[in-house]
Amino acid sequence: MTGSLTHFDATGAAAMVDVGAKAETHRSATAKACVVMLPETLALIRAGDARKGDVLGVARLAGIMAAKRTAELIPLCHPLAITSVTVDLAPVGDDTVEITATVRLTGRTGVEMEALTAVSVAALTVYDMVKAVDRGMRIEGVRVVAKSGGKSGDFQQE
C-alpha cells in the first residue's frame, strides 16, 4: 500500500482533497476493460448489423463524453481541464471487445478516475446497444494499467 487515504478529514468525514498547492505537471492515465459476449454477438458488431447502429463508434463517443463529466458522477473528483481523451475498442478473439482509454492533461491532480469512467461507460454502451441479442454479456477487468505524472510518479501494470 502506498500512503494513507486522502479523501477523509481529521474527523473521518469525507472531504475533497485540496490540490491548490500542488505543482502543475503533465499527467496521463490509461485504463482497460473487456466486454465478453457470445461469438454471434461479436460477429453482429463486426458486420455492422446491430439494430442500434455502429456499436463501437457510439461506445467510443460515450467513453469520451463520460471522461469529460467524471466530476459530475464521482463524488469528490475535481472538475478537470482535460486536454486529450482517446477511447479505442477492438474485437479480440471471437467473443470479446477490449476497451482502452487514455486521458491527458496538465494539472494538479491525476486522471485515473477519468480513464476508468471512460472505459466503464464505453463498456456499458456496448452492452446497451446489443443487449437485445445477448443479455449474458459480462463487463470484466476494469482497471488502471498505466499512469504518469504527479508526486506519486509513474505506474505500469505488468
Query: Model confidence over 22-44: pLDDT tens digits?
Result: 778 999 999 999 999 999 999 99
Pull the grid cell for residue 109.
491532480
DSSP result, 99-150: EEEEEEEEESS--HHHHHHHHHHHHHHHHHHHTTT-TT-EEEEEEEEEEE-S
**Mean pLDDT, range 112-124, rounded to an integer:** 98
Q: Which of 88, 128, 134, 154 is catalytic?
A: 128
Structure confidence by residue, pLDDT tens digits, 73-103 = 998 899 999 999 999 999 999 999 999 999 9
Q: Is-catalytic flag, 128?
A: yes
pLDDT score of 13 more than 80: no
CA-based end-to-end distance of the chain? 17
CA dihedral 57, 64, 34, 143 (to 10 degrees): 170
Q: Structure pTM?
A: 0.89
Under 8 Å between Cβ of 104 and 112 = no
